[in-house]
Chain A
């Protein structure tokens, strides 16, 4: 069962299963670079992934892997310059958002795709009440009257389980605790019923007990509304709890994409394997942690061949010469490693 399909397209699902472009949101061979005074940093080098209604795709990667920049490009909030999209498409319901007019894109933001950020304190405007900021969306985008908008905003606050939503309506962001603020931000981003929610490190700044509450809430809302969710995180624990599929990013590329169970059970890329080995686990008493040697590459000077090759314990001469494409291995999973088969088939 090792018929490898060469496909530059999103590997899983794009195997002619009868849904040519039924994807909710697709990122297709996206390339982004940052042109700075010190040189050109190739931040995203051909990223392809998709998310369907009702599923959670986790994009996993370390800092500098390009996971947040991809999200910013999807939302159209990338700082340009220094950022430049040099290729690829972002298709929402099959239409390329990168070539749309600014007006069309603006309409998709909020109603089609919404985003929540890591830092809720700076994402909320400090001089307006939380309630006002939510109600404002209903007034501007839905043309509601003041009273109706307020009623809907209180409903939203209630949905994200903010106790005493009515009373909290007229509080300012600084009067909320970190967890409450994150809830308020979720309420704000879900106000216009988006079809896709991008959550960029939504719980990184929170304590574990609060993190658990927020992840529960996000999961619940996602199931209720059948949203597609892209969860961007570096936390392998959070991912294991909520994701359906995982895309692992390294140096601006997807190096592995798989179903969550497959990925944890049998990683098909040495980087994923290294990551899983290097986290200390609360339910295991380990001796020494296995580590990935070295550092992530400098994006202004990505090594030739496989970008992971200088740190890879399995690296062969071919890895320094040829960039491994993201290829399907088996059903529903893909890996960008020349030796993916060996990795999966070992015991």
Chain B
């Protein structure tokens, strides 16, 4: 060590007083008087989100749908599965707000109960897609080399499969007409086919994000400190790569609700007696002229749900995008 007295000989002027950017450079003010709540980038985004009506409207709607899915009995006392044929195609009334379907079941109750299957399938599919695509993307982007080449080509193959056609093929194979699968098994199959057909998008997103971040100076700095691969990925890479994924997943929930309805409508997805918006729309098509309300109400709920997730995604994207600041 050097002579400690050497340190005192060198008189360094007191360096700059740290000041928060955004706070006054007012030397007279005591430190504690300044508003200095620590904020991260997510904190900034949140502050921004709070000012957007779009965010509040869409999240209120989403919250409503989620409560609906979790506790349908809060909204209706009707029976979604059993009806009496005497009410068949009954018009909307005070007793049944949305009327009755051909089997005499309460459409309002069915629409409410339908939220559960639709939202559950969408959320689980998104979670699965994120997990598979995200992990593949991180491996491919961080590892690089032949691993990256291989995974990217595999993703390309899956990417080449047309979404609806692919889902129909998978589901008719395992869930064709005449098969007698349980409710959970069908749900699992629908989720699996959605995940299989959409993970490459997430992987590409994650991969490009990781590639851009991997060479960042702070990753090099962490390596120079001796940080291991796990630490670099978990603490440095992921937190900086998640933003685009977060936005995409919100929008994806919306499109998966639509996808589930499409598959159910085509008869390869969920089936009666399970209640879902897609099944209701599918059943309603034959009675479009006599009872348009059968189609209208589940379709309106479907559109509202898809729209709120897409709007939320849009609001989050704007808040996270530093260029729009």
Which residues of A approach B to under 8 Å, CB–CB? 36-38, 288, 290-291, 293-295, 297-298, 300-301, 303, 310
Contact = CB atoms under 8 A, between A and B. Distances in A.
B225 interface: no
B40 to A, nearest CB: 16
Contacts of B19: 294-295, 298
A290 B24 CA distance: 25
A55 B226 CA distance: 55
Interface in B242-260: none
Contacts of B48: 37
A36 B25 contact: no
A298 B13 contact: no
A37 B325 contact: yes
Contacts, number: 42
A293 B15 contact: yes
A215 B156 CA distance: 51
Contacts of B14: 293
- A-B interface, 6 closest residue pairs, ranked by CB to CB distance from nearest: A301-B24, A297-B25, A294-B16, A310-B27, A295-B16, A310-B25
Contacts of B10: 288
B26 interface: yes
B12 interface: yes
Contacts of B325: 36-37
A290 B12 CA distance: 9
Interface in B289-325: 325
Interface string B1-29: 00000000011111111010111111100
Contact of B16 (A290, A293, A300): A293
Contacts of B26: 301, 303, 310
28 contacts: A36-B325, A37-B48, A38-B22, A288-B11, A288-B12, A291-B15, A293-B13, A293-B15, A293-B16, A293-B17, A294-B17, A294-B19, A294-B25, A294-B27, A295-B17, A297-B25, A298-B21, A298-B24, A298-B25, A300-B22, A301-B23, A301-B24, A301-B25, A303-B24, A303-B25, A303-B26, A310-B26, A310-B27
Nearest to A37: B325
Nearest to A82: B325
Task: Give the interface centre of B11, B21, B24, B325 by most chain A CB atoms within 10 Å.
Answer: B24
A228 B245 CA distance: 52
B13 A295 contact: no
A298 B17 contact: no
A301 B15 CA distance: 22
B81 to A, nearest CB: 51
Most chain B CB within 10 A, of A290, A297, A298, is at A298
A253 to B, nearest CB: 15
Interface residues of B, number: 18
Given A301-B23, A303-B25, 7 more contacts: A37-B325, A290-B13, A295-B16, A298-B25, A300-B22, A301-B26, A303-B26
Interface SS, A side:
loop
Interface string B229-240: 000000000000
Nearest to B11: A288
Interface string B269-305: 0000000000000000000000000000000000000
A134 B26 CA distance: 50
Tell me whether chain B's interface is mostly helix, strand or loop, or mixed. Answer: loop
Contacts of B24: 298, 301, 303
A321 to B, nearest CB: 13
Nearest to A36: B325
A300 B24 CA distance: 8
B140 to A, nearest CB: 28
A301 B25 CA distance: 8
Nearest to A291: B13
Contacts of B15: 291, 293
Interface in B20-57: 21-27, 48
Contact of B25 (A37, A38, A295): A295
Nearest to A320: B28
A251 to B, nearest CB: 10
Contacts of B13: 290-291, 293
A38 B11 CA distance: 39
A300 B16 CA distance: 19
A252 B103 CA distance: 76
A300 B11 CA distance: 34
A293 B13 CA distance: 8
A143 to B, nearest CB: 39
A298 to B, nearest CB: 6
Contacts of B21: 298
A255 B48 CA distance: 37
Contacts of A36: 325
B90 to A, nearest CB: 53
Contacts of A288: 10-12
Nearest to A302: B25
Given A36-B325, A37-B48, A37-B325, A298 B12 contact: no
Contacts of A38: 22
Interface centre among A37, A291, A294, A300 (most CB of B within 10 A): A294
A298 B22 contact: yes
A274 to B, nearest CB: 12
A60 B86 CA distance: 88
A298 B18 CA distance: 13
Contacts of A310: 25-27
A310 B14 CA distance: 14
B211 to A, nearest CB: 21
Contacts of A293: 13-17
Contacts of A295: 16-17, 19, 25
Interface in B202-231: none
A298 B23 contact: yes
Q: Which of B13, B16, B25, B48 has the most CB of A within 10 A?
A: B25
Contacts of B11: 288
A38 B35 CA distance: 14
Nearest to B12: A288
B13 to A, nearest CB: 6
Nearest to A288: B10
A290 to B, nearest CB: 8
